[in-house]
Amino acid sequence: MKLTGGPNPWASQTTEEYASYPVLEGSKSCDVLVIGGGISGALVSYILSKQGTDVILLEKNTVGSGSTSASTGLLQFMNDDSLTDLIGRFGEERASKFYSLCAQAVDRLASVAAELPDDIGFRRRSSMYYASTEQDVQMLRTEYDNLIRYGFDVEFWDQKQISARFPFSKPAALYSRKDAEVNPYHMVKALLARSHAEHGLQIYEHSKVTGVDYVNAGAVALTENGEIKAKTVIWAMGYETQDWKQDEAAVLEYSYAIMTPPVPDLSSWHEQAMIWETERPYLYLRTTPDNRIIAGGLDEPLSKGGLTADITTARSQQLLDEVRALFPGLGDITAEYSWSGIFGSTRDGMPLIGRHPEFPNSYFIEGYGGNGTVYSMIAADLMAQAVSGHEPEELSWFPLTRSHFKDTAI
**DSSP result, 341-369:** EEEEEETTS--EEEEETTEEEEEEEE--S
Q: Say what the pLDDT of residue 12 is.
A: 86
Average pLDDT, the chain: 95
pTM for the predicted model, two decimal places: 0.96
| Residues of the chain with confidence (pLDDT) below 50 | 406-410
Phi then psi for residue 279, to 5 deg, are -60, 145
Do residues 89 and 95 lie in contact, with contact meaning Cβ atoms separated by under 8 Å?
Answer: yes
Q: Say what the pLDDT of residue 305 is.
A: 74
Please report, for residues 31, 58, 65, 362, 382, the alpha-carbon distance to residue 357 in angstroms, rounded to integers and kept in the order given.
20, 23, 30, 9, 19
Q: Mark 90-123 as b/e (b = at least 16 C-beta within 10 Å).
A: beeebbbebbebbbebbebbbebbeebebebbbb
**What domains are there in the chain, each with its CATH number?**
4-10+21-71+185-246+351-397 (3.50.50.60), 250-346 (3.30.9.10)
Q: Say what the pLDDT of residue 231 is.
A: 98
Q: Say what the pLDDT of residue 405 is.
A: 53
CA 232-186-374 angle, to 5 degrees, is 55
Q: Say what the pLDDT of residue 15 is.
A: 82
Do residues 333 and 263 lie in contact, with contact meaning Cβ atoms separated by under 8 Å?
Answer: yes
Q: Say what the pLDDT of residue 404 is.
A: 55
* Alpha-carbon gap, residue 397 to 353, rounded angstroms: 8
* Alpha-carbon gap, residue 14 to 124, rounded angstroms: 19
Strand runs labelled E in 169-225: 172-181, 202-204, 209-215, 218-223
Q: Say what the pLDDT of residue 409 is.
A: 41
Number of H helices, E strands in the chain: 8, 18
Q: How many C-beta neighbours within 10 Å does residue 302 have? A: 13
